[in-house]
A and B are shown apart, each in its own frame.
Chain A
Amino acid sequence: MSPIKVLLVDDEEELVSTLAERLALRGIHADWTTRPEDALRRLEVCKYDVAVLDVKIPRMNGIELKKEMEKKCAHTKFIFLTGHGSEQDFREGSQEAGPEFYLVKPVNIEDLMEKINQLLGR
């Protein structure tokens, strides 16, 4: 079985890089970026199974990014991360990904692993 490929998108470099490293330790191929355009470009090269998106990214919010990404790669599944801001964030995020795939920072790595596996049906 090929390793799961995950793309992490968040404006906090320290956060995504560490998170990618931790996922890698758990046998997941995790790429990360802080820029949405970069995320779209990477999607063309490498087909990701799961994209973990921050709801709030500068220049493009997580929901829009998801829509763009879906156009390029239909099979990618999504998990949202949030600093948990407004009610609107909460509504949109949970509507888009389903409330169970909407995670509040700080994230427990085991929770994230569980959600990824759940999405991919493993």
Chain B
Amino acid sequence: MWFREKIRRSFQENREAPRRGSTYQFNYRRIWKLAVLLTGGVSLIPLIFITAVNYEAMRHAIESEMIFRTTRVVSNTCLSISFFVNERKSALNFIVHENTFESLNSRERLSRILGDLKRSFGGGFVDLGVVDAAGRQRNYVGPYNLGGKDYSGQKWFRQVLDSGMYISDVFLGYRKVPHLVIAVKGMSRSGAPYVLRAALSTTPFETLLSQLEVAGMGDVFMINHEGILQTPSRYHGGVFENIYLPVPKKRPNTEVLEGKGPLDEDLIIGYRYIDDTPFILMVVKKKKECMKPWSCTGLKLIVFLLVSVSVILTVILGTSTYLVKKIKIADEKRSASLHQVEYANKMASIGRLAASVAHEINNPLAIINEKAGLIKDFFTFGGKYAEDPKLMGLVDGILTSVKRAGTITRRLLNFSRNLQASVEPIHLREAILEVLGFMGKEAELREIKIHVDVAQDIPVLETDRGKLQQILLNIINNAFAAVSDGGHIDIRSRLEKKDHVAIIIADDGCGISKEDLIRIYEPFFSTKSGQGGTGLGLSITYSLVQEIGGSIHAESELGKGTRFTITIPIKSEKTKT
């Protein structure tokens, strides 16, 4: 949260300020928030929206592609298997049409036909048998001894006689190896039906299916309508095992649907019922594997989005903070200069008022002085009351008081005169004492001890008297506010680098905290807000010091006191007004 704290601090406002002036009514944090929200919203919302749309569209495209591919694999494989079965079925049909029942009952003929079939069709045919209408196997050629076997009670035999053709599930039967049976019906010359029955090894299917490379840890196998595996599968069980997936509904075309695996993983299942057979061809893929290319791209998209959002946010936060800070500083400067002008005008008015009051008082004062002087002259020159110490004392008292009043009016006049910029020779010690003269009474009342020590080697300064005195007045005034009754203020000066003078004003007052110390020259920063402080004193002091070409530095410790060091050039080259 350091970032939040940083932002909060950068717009920290003097909460006292709005109560004093109309210039400080802006809420910079609100402006900042508004700028960040607006620019952030306008740039981020479209970006996030576009990315989300893109993400969805891509996922959709890859899913469609996956379904399309699965459908193609299922259809192609189904065609191959269909072709394989149909080819053999047709061959058997051809045999029953080309041969008579009698000739097929010849063992030699039948074994030649089996030999021809094996040669022509490659693998597949294992044996051949001829079953008469009563269900008895009349002739058999093959590796097993199945001659004379009675099939009359079996369902398949009935089915061949009824529909002319039968293809069995894969089964072990007497042979104890997985195989399937294709049987076709023929008619003897006497009109009695008979059946040509061939057993086919499932090896060619298995070879065909196992050779298919299917993406996404895919598996291709066949099940029968009861859900029993007809060919071995890679991941879904061996032959004759019951598959855990539900048997899909019969549909004329290839279908692709989604299902759940035994570990609750998402599966893509493509299937097709193979026409005229009890088989269903199934292609099962793991969805996660199939979607891998997409998740990879999706991840890239998300990373891109996150990077973009952070870059945009950083830029927006940075520029907003920078701009609002600039606005704030500009406002503060403008407001400070307005106040400075106001302050200068106020001081000028006070100066004029002081001058006119002093001037008006000065005239009657001068008359009193002369009248009293004349009385004294009469006493002195007339000799009559010259020896009367009481009367002489009274007259001297009047004259001394007039002199004191004269000093006060002169000081007031000096003060007003000093408000006008002019470089003149100044004795630092006298300037300091003159300023202290304004505060003598307060110091006496509060028993504040002031120690002034101006080094002997300080030359006569050539600078603006008014500005220098105002600087000293402000700092000493602050020192008075900081010290408690009976406190100490120490004013020293020393030569710096030959052409500068450092004036050090130290007090043993309440001190300034570290956080406040860096802000004391800011306009409107005041810790005396409840006591009539304007927060402008040090701000104006700072400008005045700069105007006479000097610098100001403050050190402070809470509870121990504060020390201001003002360094000014002995010869002020120019004073800005």
Contact = CB atoms under 8 A, between A and B. Distances in A.
Interface string B403-434: 10010011001000100101000000000000
B536 interface: no
A115 to B, nearest CB: 16
Interface of B: 355, 358-359, 362-363, 365-371, 373-374, 377-378, 381, 402-403, 406, 409-410, 413, 417, 420, 422
B410 A106 contact: no
Nearest to A16: B370
Given A21-B374, A25-B377, A85 B366 contact: no
27 contacts: A12-B363, A12-B367, A15-B363, A15-B366, A15-B370, A18-B367, A18-B371, A18-B374, A25-B377, A83-B359, A83-B363, A84-B358, A84-B362, A84-B409, A84-B410, A84-B413, A85-B355, A85-B413, A86-B355, A86-B417, A87-B417, A105-B362, A105-B366, A106-B402, A106-B406, A107-B370, A109-B370
Contacts of B410: 84, 104
A22 B410 CA distance: 24
Contacts of A87: 417, 420, 422
A22 B369 contact: no
Contact of B362 (A18, A19, A83): A83
Contacts of A14: 367, 370-371
B359 A107 contact: no
Nearest to B409: A84
Contacts of B362: 83-84, 105-106
Contacts of B420: 87
Contacts of B402: 106
A25 B378 CA distance: 8
Contacts of B365: 105-106
Chain A interface residue number, banded: 10 to 19
A25 B381 CA distance: 7
A12 B410 CA distance: 19
B467 to A, nearest CB: 15
A61 to B, nearest CB: 15
Interface in A58-94: 83-87, 90
Contacts of A107: 366, 369-370
A50 B21 CA distance: 59
Given A12-B363, A85-B359, A107-B369, 13 more contacts: A12-B367, A18-B370, A18-B371, A18-B374, A21-B374, A25-B377, A25-B378, A83-B366, A84-B359, A84-B413, A86-B417, A87-B417, A105-B362
Contacts of B363: 12, 15, 83, 105
Interface in A1-60: 12, 14-15, 18-19, 21-22, 25
Contacts of A15: 363, 366-367, 370
Contacts of A21: 374, 377
Contacts of B358: 84
A46 B373 CA distance: 27
A22 B374 contact: yes
Count chain B CB atoms within 10 A of each CB in A22, A83, A104 and give the residue with the most.
A83
B369 A106 contact: yes
